[in-house]
């Protein structure tokens, strides 16, 4: 792997690469090796002021662009992403540990497709007219909200950026976007490519980097922000919502999950085993917000299911993210790795039985990186912390159930409500269970498919709002109603007038 990166990355404000006011930097690690890749600058309140001011100035002209013009801009961005697929994929793998097979064939192409999808949606978006009576009509039109603050997590740094950027720009907004300090490079490099291609007017996209406590707090509390969108933890969501409520602005929250993946005895067991592993999200080390980390398995197939899943996971090729044969890469950071390992210890202390894995991989050449074995717990009770709390790593809890009613109760007995899976040959049961589970999305006989044009989002502590569907444009729009009275005579409310 021979990436050529800058020694220090600057902020991107008003179409220029500029230094942060603080003069401070943050190191970005390669989780496959533990080595420092490069540094980013720590933006503070003064830098956020500059970015918001630039976005406000750009808004004056950008919000006047036509749907056809914005469609063209988004298609050009998609083209840049496609042309640089391998380059961007390499950066994603280097900075956050996503295997090359995932970054090259899912992450980057998916981002390009989202820009294409929302480019198509723009032309179809319309207001509407309500006829009140012979003399009165009401026209409702769509307007941009203004300057949007977008906060991106580290686990899918390019695709989730696209989830937010594409509808925000499509609706006519300008943006200030903050990537995670664990994986900021892919977005910075994408914006550099967009800038060098001369696609967007100055100030339409502004990128600020730094920690959540400094840069993120300054962005979310800024009075010039008109909309906030976060993908992150519940605690981060609480902080962002406090700021949004103080400034009385809309917010979209996607805050993770502890998703149930339910396997009935009549399911196709070959597909089910594959679905459990796909649901665990090993293609991204379990660092998937919708990961089906609670596998509920009906008693009749429980033992065989456990053995088959463990057999496949035991043979999984764990290695450096850039290797083509790698099926699971490293955890994104040392801190996150330690969190995952601490939950494994919690699971053992709670009485769950460790069936597979459970340790950091310390054999060379993986000993320098942040690698954790694929891990399976059995004899898990749904009340245990490992079954209730989001671990965000390759840790699967397999829970036995007997009846449909029992599994619905357990599936819903959790604070999160993002995704769920149902595996059965009985379509009536599939639909009954899908409707009974309180989540934003349910997959039947598949898992974690997130194409553009299918809404994604959660309920309960998983947040609110929807992405990756044309309804996301509504999340970035203000609807203005213009009421028109065409009658020639006064209403007669005031006879003496």
Average pLDDT, integer, range 151-173: 98
Beta-bridge partners for 141? 480
Averaged pLDDT, 267-292: 97
Q: pLDDT tier at 458 (50, 70, 90 boundaries)? A: very high
Domains and CATH numbers, the chain: 8-255+462-481 (3.40.605.10), 260-444 (3.40.309.10)
- Res. 2: pLDDT tops 80: no
Please write the tens of the pLDDT for every residue from 52-106. Answer: 999 999 999 999 999 999 999 999 999 999 999 999 999 999 999 999 999 999 9
Q: Note the pLDDT tens digit of each residue in 332-366.
A: 999 999 999 999 999 999 999 999 999 999 999 99
- Among 267, 289, 310, 397, the active-site one is 289
Q: What is the pLDDT of residue 3?
A: 81
- pLDDT tens digit sequence for 95-138: 999 999 999 999 999 999 999 999 999 999 888 999 999 999 99
Q: Which of helix, strand or coil describes residue 357?
A: coil
Instruction: Tell me the pLDDT band of 4, cut-offs 50, 70 and 90.
Output: confident
Q: Is the pLDDT of residue 146 over 80?
A: yes
> Cα–Cα distance between 380 and 397 in angstroms, integer?
6
Report the alpha-carbon distance of residue 103 to residue 284 in Å, rounded.
9
**What confidence score (pLDDT) does residue 497 get?**
63
| Cα–Cα dist 74/170, whole Å | 8
The string of pLDDT tens digits covering residues 26-44 is 999 999 999 999 999 999 9
Q: How far apart are CA 279 and CA 260, in angstroms?
A: 9
Q: How confident is the model at residue 495 (pLDDT cuts 50, 70, 90)?
A: confident
State the chain's mean pLDDT as an integer.
97
pLDDT at 242: 97
Helices (H), 63-184: 67-83, 85-96, 100-102, 108-124, 159-170
Residue in 90, 95, 254, 390 annotated catalytic: 254
Do 176 and 55 touch, CB atoms closer than 8 A? Answer: yes
For residue 216, which phi and psi values (nearest 5 degrees)?
A: -65, -45
> Is 254 annotated as catalytic?
yes
Q: What is the pLDDT of residue 492?
A: 87
- CA-wise closest residue to 276 among 418, 431, 396, 383: 396
If 0-12 CB within 10 Å is exposed, 13-18 middle and 19+ buried, where does residue 206 land?
buried
């Amino acid at each position: 792997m021979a990436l050529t990166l800058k020694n220090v990355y600057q902020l991107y404000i008003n179409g220029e690469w500029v230094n942060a006011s603080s003069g401070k930097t943050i190191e970005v690690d390669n989780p496959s090796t533990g080595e420092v890749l490069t540094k980013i600058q720590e933006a503070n309140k003064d830098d956020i002021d500059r970015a918001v001011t630039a976005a406000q100035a750009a808004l004056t002209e950008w919000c006047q662009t036509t749907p056809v013009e914005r469609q063209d801009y988004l298609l050009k961005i998609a083209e840049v992403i496609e042309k640089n697929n391998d380059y961007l994929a390499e950066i994603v793998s280097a900075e956050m540990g996503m295997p090359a097979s995932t970054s090259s064939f899912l992450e980057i192409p998916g981002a390009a497709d989202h820009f294409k999808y929302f480019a198509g949606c723009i032309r179809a978006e319309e207001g509407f007219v309500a006829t009140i009576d012979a003399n009165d009509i009401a026209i409702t039109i769509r307007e941009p909200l203004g300057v949007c603050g977008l906060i991106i997590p580290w686990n899918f740094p390019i695709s989730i950026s696209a989830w937010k950027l594409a509808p925000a720009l499509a609706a006519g907004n300008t943006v200030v976007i903050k990537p995670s300090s664990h994986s900021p490079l892919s977005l910075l490099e994408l914006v550099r490519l967009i800038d060098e291609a001369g696609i967007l007017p100055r100030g339409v996209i502004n990128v600020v980097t730094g920690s959540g406590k400094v840069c993120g707090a300054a962005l979310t509390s800024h009075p010039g922000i008109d909309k906030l969108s976060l993908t992150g933890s519940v605690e981060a969501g609480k902080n962002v919502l406090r700021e949004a409520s103080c400034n009385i602005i809309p917010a979209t929250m996607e805050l993770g999950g502890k998703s149930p993946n339910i396997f009935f005895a009549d399911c196709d067991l070959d597909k089910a085993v594959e679905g459990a592993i796909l649901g665990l999200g090993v293609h991204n080390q379990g660092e998937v917000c919708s990961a089906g980390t609670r596998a509920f398995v009906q008693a009749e197939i429980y033992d065989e299911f456990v053995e088959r899943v463990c057999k496949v996971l035991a043979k999984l090729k764990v290695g450096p993210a850039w290797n083509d044969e790698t099926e699971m890469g490293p955890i994104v950071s040392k801190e996150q790795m330690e969190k995952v390992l601490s939950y494994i210890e919690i699971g053992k202390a709670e009485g769950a039985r460790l069936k597979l894995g459970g340790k950091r991989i310390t054999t060379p050449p993986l000993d320098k990186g942040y690698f954790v074995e694929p891990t399976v717990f059995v004899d898990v009770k749904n009340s245990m912390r490992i079954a209730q709390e989001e671990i965000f790593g390759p840790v699967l809890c397999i829970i036995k159930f007997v009846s449909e009613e029992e599994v619905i109760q357990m599936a819903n007995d959790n604070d999160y409500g993002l995704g769920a899976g149902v595996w059965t040959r009985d379509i009536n049961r599939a639909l009954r269970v899908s409707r009974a589970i309180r989540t934003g999305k349910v997959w039947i006989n598949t898992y974690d498919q997130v194409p553009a044009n299918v809404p994604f989002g959660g309920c309960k502590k998983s947040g609110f709002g929807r992405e990756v569907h044309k309804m996301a444009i509504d999340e970035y729009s203000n609807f203005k109603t213009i009421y028109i009275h065409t009658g020639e005579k006064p209403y007669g409310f005031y006879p003496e007038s």
